Amino acid sequence: MNLSDPAVDISLFSLPIGKKDIFLNEKPLVLEIGFGEGEFLINAARSDGSRNYLGLEVKRGRFRKAVRTAEALSLQNLKFLHIEAEIALRQVFRERMFDLVLVNFPDPWPKKKHSKHRMFNQELISCLAKVLTGGGRTVIKTDQLSYIEQIVSEFERSGLFRSTYPPPGFIEAQAGETETKFEKHFREASQKIFSAGFLNLPSQTG
C-alpha cells in the first residue's frame, strides 16, 4: 500500500480493518463522518502530526476533490474512504479503534416528514460506542437548534454516552482555527453554530 495515497481501498484488506492496516502505526485516530471536500481534515492533518485522520464521504464528487487536494500534499497521516458511515461503522472498522469522531454539519432534514432520515438514531449511536475507545468522544456541530436538541436527546436515551456539557447538553460554538467551509459560510451570515460532545462510557469497553 502506498502511504502517500489518501484514498483507502478496503478491498485490499480482510475486514474488519484497524489502525495499522490503514496507517501502519498506532497513533491516536480521528474520524470525520461526511468530510465534504475535506478542508477540515486536511488542515487538521497538516497542523497535527501526532494524530492520524480518517474521513468518510458518500458523495463521489466531494470525495474525489478531497483526494486530489490531499494528493498534492503527500500527508501520511490522512486517509479518505468513499463509503456510507453506517456500513463502515458496523462492518469495516474494528472495535475501540477511534479516539475521536467528528460530525460537522450533518444534513438536518428539517421537514418533519423527512426527520426519519436524520443521521443520529439509536442504531448509529450504538455503532459509535463500539468503534470508540473507552473515554473516546463524539463531537457534533450544526447550525440547527432543533437538530442539536434532538441529537442530545438521542445520545442521552442510549445510555452509552455522557454529555461533556451541562444542560441543555450543548453550547454555542466559538470560531476555531480549523473550520469547515459550511462553518465559515454560516459565520459570515451571522448564524449561530451549536456544538455537542459525548464521552463514551468506560462500561462500554467490554
Rounded Cα distance between 107 and 158, Å, is: 21
Catalytic residue among 5, 21, 99, 107: 107
Contacts of residue 39, defined as CB under 8 A and 6 or more positions apart, other chains included, come to 69, 180, 181
d(CA 57, CA 70): 14
Helix (H, G, I), strand (E, B) or coil at 98: strand
Please, where are the H alpha helices in 98-144? Answer: 122-131
DSSP annotation string for 141-189: EES-HHHHHHHHHHHHHHSSEEESS-TTS-EEPPP-SS--HHHHHHHHT
| C-alpha to C-alpha distance for 163 and 154, rounded to whole angstroms | 11
The yes-or-no answer on residue 107 being catalytic is yes
Structure-block grid coordinates of residue 17: 480493518
- For residue 16, say if its preceding peptide bond is cis, omega within 30 degrees of 0: yes
Q: How many angstroms separate the CA atoms of 25 and 44, rounded?
A: 18
The residues annotated as belonging to the active site are: 107
